[in-house]
A and B are shown apart, each in its own frame.
Chain A
Amino acid sequence: MQSVQILFANLMAIYRRELQSYFASPFAYVIAGVFWLLSGFFFVAILLGPEGLIAQANFRDQLGMTNPPIDVAAQFVSFFLGTLSSLALFILPVLSMGLYAEERKRGTLELLATSPLTNWIVALGKLLGALTFFVTLLLPMLIYQTIALSAANPPAPFTGLLLGHLGLILLAAAVLSLGMFVSSLTDSTILAAILTFALVLFLWVVDLVGNSLVGPVGAGLKHISLIRNYTNFAQGVFDSSSLVVFLSYVMLGLFLTAQSIEAFRFQRS
């Protein structure tokens, strides 16, 4: 019991420091500003723009097309979440790039490694810190969407919205976890960001490769695709296998990070 308390206290210490480092960093505010600007632009464009969903629905109404009926609210959530995930593809590697690379560069890894902390507690605390920062980026967007949905007639259910965001957070956790592992391999934050971006892009589109392959390999590749598993959530469908895939990525990232830090200490000269 007491050891659990200690582990939790350690976790919170790492988590709070990590989160604080984001909020103390002007760089993180630049990221947040860019993210909010772009997602705000897409929000307006998808919903209200000349090619937007409302304009399309009006056009259909004028043509008298009522069959099949379109659910503007659900479509909007799905489209917008798709856009957010694409933005996240660029934002998340930048958020994860410094998690360990900075510690290695500053020498603070030596402090963490000689403190009574286990590697995976440090990794988990860092991951949660980065994830929390990403969630704060999403919060204003969530408010916009809630306002938009509450104006819908007939009233739109919020479950789709919440599931979609759950999916987005899971996706972010998976990407950050892998990005953290990449970050633990190098002293260079830029290199970490580029490698993470490449890795995530590959996992993003791997279902395209899967589509062109037949047999179990193709099917397997489709299952590990990030975008494919995310799309389920974004469309308001809760798929437990997608949940498992995302959580597996998170665990894999944590495990590899802990191993890589251990290996780093064992081999360094």
Chain B
Amino acid sequence: MIEVEQLSKVYGSTAAIQEVTFAVEPGEILGFLGPNGAGKTTTMRILTGYLPATSGTAKIAGFDVHENSMAVRQRIGYLPETPPLYPDMTVEGFLHFVARIKGVVAGDRAKQVENALTRCNLLEKRQVLIRKLSKGFKQRVGIAQAIVHDPPVIILDEPTVGLDPRQIIDVRNLIKSLAGDHTIILSTHILPEVSMTCSRVAIINRGRVVATNTPEQLMAELAGETGYELEVEGDIALAQARLAALPGVKTVEPIVDSVEGSGEPSRQKLRLSLVTGTDPGREIAAVVVNSGLGLYEMRRTRVSLEKVFLELTTEEKAIDPETMAAAYERASHRDTEPPILPISVTTDQTTDWAPDRTQSIKSDETPIEDETEASITAEQPSRPEEEP
């Protein structure tokens, strides 16, 4: 339904997106996940024909978005970041106007507007001036204008931003109810949103798609990718060699310039990455002890892309942009080949991550709890999950 190939957009000397390639099958919901400024909006604007691409092609329902712009525009509903609303119009009047300019024939207009009002729960507000609506209702009117002409493709730019938790649930359910008949692309920077609404996820950072997969597989990969951090005293080289020989251990690296280093020169922190699906915690502890080393700390960690996700799931204002950018940087560096998961732990992982953020994501919870939990866990002290 949607085919994007090698799409790039350059503003002057800066590239907003670079060689973005993905495809969306009919009836699918694709989630665009990435931090602000990653290129989500630019990609969506190119798809809607609002912006021309510098190079590459994008096709919607077989029509090129640039060459057949009018045909594409008839087939898409688009909710930009700020809902495009006329404050002096009533909700119903506005939807009639949109239906008209989208080319809905006169006979179907009333029915379509009614349908959009019902779907977006706006029936009681139909005669209210848009200027008098609350933010949540405005957002719903924004979604209603995107679906009023019943387009095969719906493009939603941050549809849940600025809504309260109740409204977020409503909007997510609405989006889910639209799938099947419609192909949907939505952008977000909230991970649970993706896992709850989308059938596929494209993670975009700094203008590049760094991973595409189903949310379940993504989660599975992330859940399986664990590692350990040890602080040991003694013959470090021996410990490294023995630990690396353990079945299930992929790599062993010393952590240089550790933030929480004890200052003791004889102690060293080590990071172990594990083969997916194994957890040789017991063996690791045994090796350390049997080698005559002192064990001062042993802690299970997760890979950094998950940390990035954790950052994403916390409230936007709680995120330090530089930290997130750095995390994304690492996440994108790790994929030198076509960036498809699974992800492996690489050497450029540093320890500027607070260890107390290494909690797992629980994707199957309701959105309110999800987000609050994410922000609560970020505050929790470190809690070793395995005792040596």
Contact = CB atoms under 8 A, between A and B. Distances in A.
Contact of B82 (A107, A265, A269): A107
Contacts of B101: 10, 13-14, 112, 115-117
A116 B100 CA distance: 10
A110 B84 CA distance: 7
A1 B16 CA distance: 42
Given A17-B97, A114-B50, A265-B51, A6 B103 contact: yes
**Residue with the highest number of chain B CB atoms closer than 10 Å, among A12, A21, A113:** A113
Contacts of B51: 265-266, 268
B187 to A, nearest CB: 15
Nearest to A13: B100
A66 B263 CA distance: 115
Contacts of B50: 110, 113-114, 265
A115 B73 contact: yes
B74 interface: yes
Given A108-B84, A115-B73, A115-B102, A24 B145 contact: no
Contacts of B49: 113-114
Interface string A229-269: 00000000000000000000000000000000000011011
A252 B84 CA distance: 28
A108 B85 contact: yes
A109 B51 CA distance: 13
A204 B342 CA distance: 70
Given A107-B84, A265-B50, A20 B73 contact: no
Interface in B38-86: 48-52, 70, 73-74, 76, 78, 80-86
Q: What does DSSP make chain A's interface, helix, strand, loop or mixed?
A: helix
B89 interface: yes
Contacts of B52: 265-266
Contacts of B97: 13, 16-17
Contacts of A9: 100, 103
A4 interface: no
Contacts of A269: 11-12, 16
A111 interface: yes
A25 interface: yes
Nearest to A113: B50
Contacts of B83: 107
Interface in A1-36: 6, 9-10, 12-14, 16-17, 20-21, 24-25
A114 B70 CA distance: 9
A90 B177 CA distance: 53
B98 interface: yes
B82 A116 contact: no
Contact of A106 (B85, B98, B103, B145): B85
Contacts of A25: 88
Interface of A: 6, 9-10, 12-14, 16-17, 20-21, 24-25, 106-117, 265-266, 268-269
Interface of B: 11-12, 16, 48-52, 70, 73-74, 76, 78, 80-89, 93, 97-98, 100-103, 145
18 contacts: A9-B100, A9-B103, A16-B97, A21-B88, A24-B88, A106-B84, A107-B80, A108-B85, A110-B50, A111-B80, A113-B49, A114-B78, A115-B98, A116-B70, A116-B74, A117-B101, A266-B51, A269-B12
Interchain residue pairs A-B with the least CB separation, the first 4: A111-B84, A13-B100, A24-B88, A108-B84
